[in-house]
């Protein structure tokens, strides 16, 4: 996943926010050219969510520092360092906007200020760089809502608004916030971090033309490249690499974000209104399935018959098992494609399955999906285990897990995450590319699925 500008991943894997200090202000920051702030996460999506409020805080502080200098105030003490009084003044000026009568707290609960306007409360805590989750501010329980004050600053840029949006939308699924942040990040990558009020529909013409051809999975090299550089290198594809539904999703997320900005008077019009591609309600084409040749090619690869290497020295998965060898490891990478092919499961249905869902009803081995919350109501079902799965040793795999006291069918997957198979899904795309017999003509087509349900 692409991260926002200013987010750096250290060798430890932890993401940091990097704030560059303007050259003319470095004396007021201890002659530091940069300020590093740990985001306390190794997840790119979470890093995007946490970096927005921090970037906004530093931007405001730098702006207030410049204003203080213009007023003739002296921030440096006799020893050449910033005085505590000046720092206190900057913090006071930064928070002053949020201390006006229409925003200030109207009551306290357990010593925590609760605000009339939930958006202002979130912005206040974001500006003070306080973790919203730890603050326990009950935004959803705010008893009065006042109309937000109309913004008069025409210089509010996209990234600053994104930080405020993320800070005020903590009740939304983290996956949605992460995707939205990523799509807005690509927008900034193409058109720059422009003021909101300067945006027009013409800023999105490039995406209308090129987004259908943007890679569905980025290589490590592409992840470090700009959108334009990626497209300049790989060009357009026939057929397009992305479905119309996926392209529409990008525009829908942009519309959601800019609609939120418009309601807070950060901008006058929504620049993406009416630009999302239209999808007919009836007659939508189904995603193509793997055909017989694809299935035969997939299950003829070394992963299902023996490969040369499975894990690196650090214990993490190694490569894509494309080189023949003596190792046949029956883990989630082995079983998930088989469950999709023989039992017609969606990826998450199989990957997130509790071990208790493998049962025996009246002498028939079944996979019981009737007790779980799944994608649709019709997904709740009891599926007999295919005889081929039994012949391949699936029940032996289950028995070994029960002896070990495991809870899930595939304990190596991250079941504490919102989607257990998110990592596998990306890996499968790379696996298809590495094992495809003829690139672009077989099972490496990212649109193809085992079954359409």
| Same domain as 301, residue 406 | yes
Q: Is there a single domain that holds both residue 279 and residue 298?
A: no
Judged against a pLDDT cut of 90, whether residue 395 lies above it is answered with: yes
- Do 430 and 323 belong together in one domain? yes
Per-residue confidence (pLDDT) for residue 255, from 0 to 100: 93
Given this model, what pLDDT does residue 286 score?
Answer: 62
Same domain, residue pair 239 and 351:
no
**Residue 376 zone, left/alpha/beta (φ > 0; ψ -120 to 50; rest):** beta
Evaluate whether residue 394 is within a structural domain. yes
Segment 20-31, tens digit of pLDDT: 888 777 766 667
Domain containing 189 equals 171-283
The 3-class SS string of the chain reads CCCCCCEEECCCCCEEEEEECCHHHHHHHCCCCEEEEECCCCCHHHHHHHHHHHHHHHHHHHHHHHHHHHCCCCCECCCCCECHHHHHHHHHHHHHHHHCCCCCCCEEECCEEECCCHHHHHHHHHHCCCCHHHHCCCHHHCCCCCCCCCCCCCCCEHHHHHHHHHHHCCCCCHHHHHHHHHHHHHHHHHHCCCEHHHCCHHHHHHHHHHHHHCCCCCCHHHHCCCHHHHHHHHCCCCCCCCCHHHHHHHHHHHHHHHHHHHHCCCCCCCCCCCCCCCCCCCCCCCCCECCHHHHHHHCCCHHHCCECCCECCCCCECCCCCCECCECCCCHHHHHHHHHHHHCCCHHHHHCCEHHHEEEECCEEEEECCCCCCCCHHHCCEEECCHHHHHCCHHHHHHHHHHHCCCECCCCCCCCCCCCCHHHHHHHHHHHHHHCCCCCCCCCCCCCECCCC
Can you give the pLDDT at residue 343?
Answer: 85
Count of beta carbons in the 10 Å neighbourhood of residue 44: 18
> Two tokens at 67?
């204003």
Write the pLDDT tens digit of every residue in 144-153.
Answer: 333 333 444 5
Min mean pLDDT across 72-81, 101-110, 195-204, 433-442 is at 101-110
Same domain, 187 and 251: yes
Looking at 233, 251, 283, the residue that finishes a domain is 283
Q: Count up the domains in the chain and report the number.
A: 2
For the residues 157-173, what does the mean pLDDT come to? Answer: 85
Q: What is the pTM (predicted TM-score) of this model? A: 0.46
Q: Which residues contact 448 (CB under 8 A, 6 or more apart)?
A: 287, 288, 289, 290, 294
For residue 228, tell me if it sits in a domain: yes
φ, ψ dihedrals at 211, nearest 5°: -60, -40
Domain end position, chosen among 230, 251, 283: 283
Indicate if 276 and 306 belong to the same structural domain: no
Answer whether residue 122 shows pLDDT above 70.
no
- 1 within domain boundaries: no
Identify the burial level of 79 via C-beta atoms within 10 angstroms of its C-beta, where 0-12 means exposed, 13-18 middle and 19 or more buried.
exposed
Residue 150 lies in a domain: no
Average pLDDT over the chain, rounded to an integer = 76
User: Are the CB atoms for 450 and 344 separated by under 8 Å?
Assistant: yes
Asked if residue 252 and residue 191 are part of one domain, the reply reads: yes
pLDDT grade, residue 245 (50/70/90)? confident
pLDDT at 111: 35
Are 245 and 369 within one domain?
Answer: no
CATH code of the domain covering residue 217: 1.10.150
Q: Does 308 share its domain with 399?
A: yes
Q: 312 and 265 in one domain? A: no
Residues 182 and 298 in one domain: no
Residue 254: predicted pLDDT: 94
Q: Are residue 309 and residue 421 in the same domain, yes or no?
A: yes
Lookup result for tokens 């990097």: 18
For residue 227, being part of any structural domain is answered with yes
> Considering the domain boundaries, does residue 264 fall inside one?
yes
- Domain termination site, one of 283, 311, 343: 283
Highest-scoring range by mean pLDDT, 34-48, 169-183, 198-212, 231-245: 198-212
Grade residue 45 by pLDDT with cuts at 50, 70 and 90: confident
291-344 confidence digits (pLDDT tens): 888 888 888 999 999 999 888 888 777 888 889 999 999 999 999 999 988 888
Which residues face 310 on adjacent strands?
A: none
The answer to whether position 452 is within a domain reads no
pLDDT of residue 89: 59
> Which whole number is the average pLDDT over 267-276?
88
pLDDT of residue 285: 54
> 401-440 in b/e burial notation, b at 16+ Cβ within 10 A?
beeeeeebbbeebeeeeebbbbebeebbeebbbebbeeee
In a domain, 54, yes or no: no
Residues 444-453 have a mean pLDDT of: 69
């Amino acid at each position: 996943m692409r991260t926002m500008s200013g987010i750096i991943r250290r060798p430890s894997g932890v993401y940091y926010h990097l704030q560059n200090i303007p050259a003319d202000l470095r004396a007021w920051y201890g002659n530091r050219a940069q300020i590093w702030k740990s985001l306390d996460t190794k997840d790119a999506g979470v890093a995007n969510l946490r970096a927005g409020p921090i970037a906004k805080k530093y931007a405001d502080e730098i702006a207030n520092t410049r204003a203080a200098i213009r007023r003739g105030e002296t921030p440096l003490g006799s020893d050449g360092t910033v005085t505590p009084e000046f720092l206190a003044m900057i913090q006071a000026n930064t928070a002053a906007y949020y201390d006006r009568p229409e925003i200030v707290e109207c009551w306290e609960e357990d010593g925590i200020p609760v605000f009339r306007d939930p958006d202002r409360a979130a912005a206040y805590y974001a500006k003070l760089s306080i973790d919203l989750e730890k603050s326990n501010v009950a935004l959803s329980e705010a008893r009065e809502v006042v109309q937000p004050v109309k913004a008069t600053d025409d210089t509010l840029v996209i990234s600053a608004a994104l930080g405020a949006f993320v800070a005020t939308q903590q009740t939304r699924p983290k996956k949605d916030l992460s995707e939205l942040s990523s799509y807005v990040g690509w927008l900034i990558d193409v058109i720059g971090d422009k003021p909101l009020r300067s945006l027009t529909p013409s800023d999105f013409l490039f995406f209308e033309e090129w987004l259908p051809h943007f890679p569905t999975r980025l290589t490590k090299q592409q992840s470090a490249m700009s959108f334009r550089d990626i497209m300049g290198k790989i060009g357009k594809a026939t057929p397009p690499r992305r479905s119309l539904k996926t392209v529409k999703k990008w525009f829908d997320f942009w519309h959601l974000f800019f609609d939120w900005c418009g309601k807070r008077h950060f901008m006058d019009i929504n620049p993406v209104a009416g630009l999302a591609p239209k999808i007919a309600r009836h007659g939508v084409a189904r995603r193509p399935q793997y055909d017989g040749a694809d299935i035969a090619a997939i299950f003829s690869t070394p992963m299902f018959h023996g490969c040369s290497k499975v894990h690196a020295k650090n214990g993490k998965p190694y490569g894509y098992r494309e080189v023949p060898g003596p190792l046949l490891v029956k883990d989630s990478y082995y079983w998930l494609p088989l469950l999709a092919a023989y039992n017609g499961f969606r990826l998450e249905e199989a990957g997130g399955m509790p071990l208790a869902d493998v049962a025996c009803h009246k002498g028939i081995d079944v996979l019981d999906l009737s007790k779980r919350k799944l994608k649709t109501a019709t997904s709740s079902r009891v599926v007999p285990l295919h005889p081929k799965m039994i012949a391949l040793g699936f029940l032996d795999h289950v028995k070994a897990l029960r002896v070990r006291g495991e809870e899930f069918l595939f304990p190596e997957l991250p079941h504490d995450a919102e989607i257990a198979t998110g990592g596998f899904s990306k890996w499968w795309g790379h696996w298809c590319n590495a094992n495809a017999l003829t690139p672009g003509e077989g099972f490496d087509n990212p649109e193809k699925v085992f079954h359409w349900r």
